[in-house]
Structure 1
Amino acid sequence: MSNSNAEKNKAVVLEAFDILFNKRDYVTAESYWSPNYIQHSAHIEPGRDGLFNLIKAAPPSLKYEPGVILAEGDYVIVHGRFSNIGLPANWIAADVVRLKDGILVEHWDVIQDEATEQQSKSGNPMFGDSFPK
């Protein structure tokens, strides 16, 4: 895969995540997620509807921030933060997405509660350059 295709796939994933998680524009989001979307997350019901219903049920304050993003072939991995999720801690997630023809068709994730400065044994934040407030 050429570097331009990897960059295009990264841009598609970042735009899709922003449209769904931050803007909550479900109509536009449908054009980014396949109707046959395959979900591997233990936190999300099957398919595109499972993902969309999860976001619809989340607090309106939900915010997604992308961090490091890598792409190779049809796969994109983005390390991000989900904040204001209605739980005691933010989630730090590594989302792995497979694309086909510019559409998100499959997803895996690894999710962890974000550590505070007092909880961090390394002394470093899990996301970005600073600890959550």
Structure 2
Amino acid sequence: MSTTSPAQNKALVLQAFDTLFNQRDYATAERFWSAQYIQHSAHIEPGRDGLFKLIRSIPDGLRYEHGLILAEGDYVIVHGRFSGHGRPAAWIAADVLRIENGQLAEHWDVLQDEATQTESKSGLPMFGDRFPA
């Protein structure tokens, strides 16, 4: 059973993501990710070490922005954009995280390249209220 509120879990996820992806502060990030972290992403090697290894391999300039964030019980879903990772298009992600004992314990994601205005059949941006520059 959860010992934290959905609001606390949302704040934890946002602080953890900012610490790791934007600040690249690995020592502090270890406090947010459980040592027994379970990684379901097909793009990331197992565990906390796999995630940290991936972030270390990305050139400086990685940036994470969050959008919509929802929480229920021990689960948080955050819609965000990863840019500056050295690929032609930013990634739009829906990250699902399970919180346990005040740490990120498990993760699933859905990723896709961000569409430009020309590529968007709906005519709407995938993230935020405008297309990437």
Deviations 1:37-62 (A, max 9, x none): 00000000000000001000011011
Residue 109 of structure 2 aligns with which residue? Answer: 109
CA distance in 1 between partners of 2:102 and 2:34 (Å): 10
Percentage of identical aligned residues? 70
Determine the structure 2 residue equivalent to 1:81: 81
String of CA shifts for 1:11-53, please: whole Å, max 9, x gaps.
0000000000000000000000001100000000000000001
Q: Which residue of 1 aligns with 2:34?
A: 34
Matched positions, count: 132
Q: Report what 1:53 is aligned to.
A: 53
Instruction: Look up the equivalent residue of 2:67 and give its one-letter code.
Output: G
What does residue 22 of structure 2 align with? Answer: 22
Residue 12 of structure 2 is matched in structure 1 by 12
Give deviations 1:108-128, integer Å, cap 9, x for gaps.
000000000000000000000
TM-score normalised to the size of structure 1?
A: 0.97
TM (norm. structure 2) is 0.97
Q: Secondary structure at the match of 2:92?
A: strand
How many Å separate the matches in 2 of 1:106 and 1:6? 16
> Which aligned runs of 4 or more in structure 1 are off by greater than 4 angstroms?
none
RMSD: 1.3
- Alignment match, 2:67: 67
Partner of 1:99: 99
**What are structure 1's unaligned runs of at least 5 residues?**
none
Give the whole-Å Cα distance in 1 for the aligned partners of 2:84 and 2:25.
18
| Map of 1:132 onto structure 2 | 132
AA of the residue aligned to 2:42: A
Distance 1:66 1:24 in 2: 16
Question: SS of 2:5's equivalent?
Answer: helix
For structure 2, which runs of at least 5 residues remain unmatched after alignment? none
1:96 partner SS: strand
Matched position secondary structure for 2:31? coil
